[in-house]
């Protein structure tokens, strides 16, 4: 009897394995069929074999979900009305299925935000309110902030908050907190992509050619940095004057006592007042000193420098700015501090010292071209003061153009504007006729005063 049972179990096991093997073979064949159709963009032909594999072997291969998204995107684009709604809902379902069947290959925040964006893009058809959509994005953000990185979705998330604030459904405190959340997230992503790009820029500067793979990564990093740069401007534009001093000061005055022991609240409040130039109000003084006393940091030292600036105590302000740089341990943020301090010195006309801070910012973050443009602008502004002859004054514009070209070379967000700036400076530099008249083709011209640099006259 025992032997018969063993034989029966063996037979069932064998039959089961044959069944699974046949199923796998069928799924493999149909997966190959629909994948080839997808590659040829024949999505209609791909649909049925894809659905067969999706239903029979949902764990067979991630191509079910990667190609399935393309197939359903095509269906959504071509459909309308109820049929389109069905395909949208099926795509949302597909992403849920992917999360169940391939959890390690499905970033929760990324796909949750993607689902919210799909609903937002079809909000009228799906009858979704701003509140519904905001709660969707907020849940995605809370679920997995690390992978909620899509620039468009980050902007949509914040835009919905502004719309709800304007409709009286969200208070000002929630609006400004969400602004800080999203801006900090964008800054984190910019830092990440900039650091990756910096490695490639450093390799190129050392004279080493990038591999094909590195070239692709470089374009990828530059693409995302351009996208984040675009939405940063859009986020600030969407916030507009809602975050003006008239709104910020009473809000933070009201919350100060309850939050004077909350370093994050104090830092954000001081930061927002600094951004919006509300630093003349006594509240800014209270915020900065409370923040620095509670949690001395690079940011608190920088804000103390702003206070000393306002008091006209320039040397003390510089001391605090330099302390901020020493306290900052992250090179990307240290570069940002150097650039901010350089801008303050530039605004005061202290060009020589400003350039030192700009050069340090470039050393720490070589893919940010803004310090190059600032240096170029200072050179151009100093042309009349730093040249001893008319020719040499105009020669300063060669230096300015070279700095602008450097900005265009390293920074994808400035490429077009920096190139145009360089052309503008070149139009003010000596012409071939001027060089011929001066008889100094190929010679080195020394530029004096704070610039203290040399430029070689182009050969004609």
The reported pLDDT for the residue numbered 94 is 98
The Cα–Cα gap between 95 and 151 comes to 20
Alpha carbon of 260 to those of 143, 271, 287, 387, 397: distances in Å?
29, 15, 8, 54, 51
Report the percent of the chain where pLDDT is more than 70.
95
The reported pLDDT for the residue numbered 10 is 37
396 close to 381: Cβ distance less than 8 angstroms: no
Task: Tell me which residue has tokens 């359903």.
Answer: 72
The reported pLDDT for the residue numbered 101 is 97
**pTM, 2 dp:** 0.84
Residues β-bridged to residue 453: 447
The Cα–Cα gap between 178 and 172 comes to 10
Q: How many CB atoms lie within 10 A of CB 7?
A: 10
What's the first-to-final CA gap in the chain, in angstroms?
105
Low-confidence ranges of the chain (pLDDT < 70): 1-23
The Cα–Cα gap between 78 and 84 comes to 8
Contacts of residue 234, Cβ cutoff 8 Å, sequence gap at least 6: 155
Domain ranges of the chain: 1-106, 357-460
The Cα–Cα gap between 162 and 140 comes to 18
Nearest to 135 by CA among 178, 173, 96, 99: 178
Nearest to 369 by CA among 408, 335, 398: 408
Contacts of residue 162, Cβ cutoff 8 Å, sequence gap at least 6: 175, 238, 239, 242
- Three-state SS annotation for 12-62: HHHHHHHHHHHHHHHHHHHHHHHHHHHHCCCHHHHHHHHHHHHHHCCCCCC
The reported pLDDT for the residue numbered 23 is 56
């Amino acid at each position: 009897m025992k032997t018969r049972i063993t034989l029966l179990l063996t037979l069932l096991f064998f039959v089961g394995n044959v069944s699974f093997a046949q199923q796998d073979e069928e799924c493999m064949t149909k997966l190959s069929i629909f994948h080839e159709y997808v590659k040829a963009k024949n999505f209609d032909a791909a649909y049925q074999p894809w659905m067969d594999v999706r239903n029979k072997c949902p764990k067979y291969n991630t191509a079910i979900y990667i190609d399935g998204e393309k197939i359903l995107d095509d269906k959504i684009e071509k459909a309308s009305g109820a049929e389109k709604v069905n395909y949208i809902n099926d795509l949302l379902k597909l992403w849920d299925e992917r999360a169940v069947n391939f959890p390690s290959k499905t970033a929760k925040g990324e796909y949750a935000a993607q689902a919210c964006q799909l609903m937002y893009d079809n909000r009228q058809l799906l009858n979704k309110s701003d509140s519904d959509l905001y709660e969707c994005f907020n849940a995605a953000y809370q679920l997995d902030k690390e992978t909620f990185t899509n620039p468009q979705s980050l902007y949509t998330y914040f835009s919905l908050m502004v719309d709800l604030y304007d409709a009286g459904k969200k208070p000002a405190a929630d609006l400004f907190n969400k602004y800080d959340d999203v801006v900090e997230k964008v800054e984190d992503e910019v830092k990440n992509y900039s650091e990756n790009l910096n490695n490639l820029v450093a390799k190129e500067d050392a004279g080493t050619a990038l591999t094909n793979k590195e070239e692709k990564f470089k374009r990828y990093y530059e693409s995302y940095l351009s996208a984040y740069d675009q939405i940063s401007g859009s986020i600030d534009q969407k916030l507009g004057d809602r975050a003006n001093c008239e709104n910020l000061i009473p809000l933070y005055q009201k919350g100060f006592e309850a939050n004077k022991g909350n370093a994050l609240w104090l830092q954000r409040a001081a930061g927002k007042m600094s951004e919006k130039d509300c630093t003349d109000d006594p509240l800014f003084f209270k915020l900065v000193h409370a923040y620095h006393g509670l949690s001395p940091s690079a940011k608190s030292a920088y804000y103390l420098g702003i206070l000393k600036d306002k008091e006209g105590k320039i040397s003390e302000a510089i001391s605090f700015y330099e302390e901020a740089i020493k306290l900052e341990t992250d090179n990307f943020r240290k570069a940002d501090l150097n650039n901010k301090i350089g801008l303050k010195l530039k605004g005061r006309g202290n060009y020589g010292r400003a350039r030192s801070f700009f050069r340090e910012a470039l050393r720490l973050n070589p893919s940010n071209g803004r310090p190059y443009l600032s240096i170029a602008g200072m050179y151009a502004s100093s042309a009349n003061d730093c040249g001893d002859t008319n020719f040499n004054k105009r020669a300063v514009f060669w230096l300015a153009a070279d700095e602008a070209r450097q900005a265009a070379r390293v920074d994808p967000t400035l490429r077009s504007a920096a190139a145009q700036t360089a052309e503008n400076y070149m139009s003010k530099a000596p012409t071939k006729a001027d060089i011929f008249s001066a008889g100094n083709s190929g010679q080195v011209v020394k530029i004096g005063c704070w610039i203290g640099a040399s430029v070689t006259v182009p050969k004609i």
